[in-house]
Amino acid sequence: MDGDRRHTPDPTFVAGPTQVDRADRLAAAIGLDAGDLLIKRDDLIGLGGGGNKARKLQITMGEALRSGAEWVLTTGAPQSNHARLTAAAAARVGLRCALVLQGDEPDTRRGNVLLDRLFGAHLVWSGDATAESVADALEAEGRFGSVSRIPFGGSNAASATAYVDAARELREQVPDVRHVVVAIGSGGTMAGLVAGLGAEVVLGVDCGAVPDGRATVAALLADMGYGERSPAEALRVDRTQIGAGYEHLTDGTRAAMSLAAEQEGLLLDPTYTGRAFSGLVDAVARGGIRPGDRTVFLHTGGLPGLFGHPAFSGTDASPSV
């Protein structure tokens, strides 16, 4: 490996602290006081349609560049935000990108799939096999030559440190924060926030992307060296929002999306942030979050997925909002 590449710094996809917006009308609508509810806008990160994965990809793309890889390879659901941002990040740094997406290729390219193609990604559909097993086979046979594998959701111990840094950023912006509410997908975002803010501050809303969000976050914290400080039983995890499964829109999610849009002009997605905000609404209703508690909702992005979800794109009989 050439010496210059070995010392290549991580790329920069996040130019500075993302903004924090007050949401007083939304706070009042869910039973909080003015000033209690703030939205941390990681959805407004500029790369490739925005979202939390951009912070993690600064680390994983840096590793790919230093390894000398020509391709990056990752997996995801058909409307994976991680896959979309991996494709965008690869384009930004001059690497080629292969995405293995679960299931069969859709008849029409919508949402994130449309953007994956626009960013120049090579798409492979796993069919009846798992996306991970297909990616393993492609890597083993050398289909894409020199490859750097990026984990599902971009989450491992190294990339989760991006949200330790984000936690420090948030603490500087909102010193008196009492609760931070975030979706749990592959777990790295919550793990980093817990490492930076403490388990008592972070409420993770499990979206069903992994079999057990609590165990996934706990394993990442252990790999990061924070396991003893934040064991699994200390984590605040809401598993009531999964419903029929990750890919299915729940009534609570639909209501949360409508409420945020109507009260604040704030757009949430049907897989992650809609579920997470539904969890926040329920936490207020149960008394876990109370008026006077300074609460930050971490908006992790995902808007393109709204346009690819069958409940909103006209590809099934589900009623629209």
**Residues catalogued as catalytic:** 80
Q: List, in order, residues 6 or more apart from 168 with CB less than 8 Å away.
A: 196
Q: Which two structure tokens, joined as six digits, stand for 179?
A: 């609760």
CB-based contacts of 65, cutoff 8 Å, min separation 6: 5, 8, 11, 93, 95
The DSSP output letter for 174 is -
* CA–CA separation, 201 and 181 (whole Å): 9
Rounded Cα distance between 211 and 215, Å, is: 9
Q: In what order do the strands lie in the sheet with 71-76?
A: 122-125, 96-101, 71-76, 147-149
Place of tokens 């989450």: 155
| Cα 233 to Cα 162: distance, rounded to the nearest angstrom | 24
- Taking a C-beta distance cutoff of 8 angstroms, is the pair 30, 39 a contact? no
Instruction: Give the Cβ contact number of residue 78 at 10 Å.
Output: 23
Joined together, the tokens standing for residue 293 give: 């508690």
Q: Cα–Cα distance between 188 and 219 in angstroms, integer? A: 10
Closest listed residue to residue 314, CA positions, set 19, 103, 111: 111
8 Å CB contact between 68 and 146: yes
SS3 call for 316: coil
Q: Report the C-alpha gap between 207 and 77 in whole angstroms.
A: 13
Distance from the first to the final alpha carbon of the chain: 53
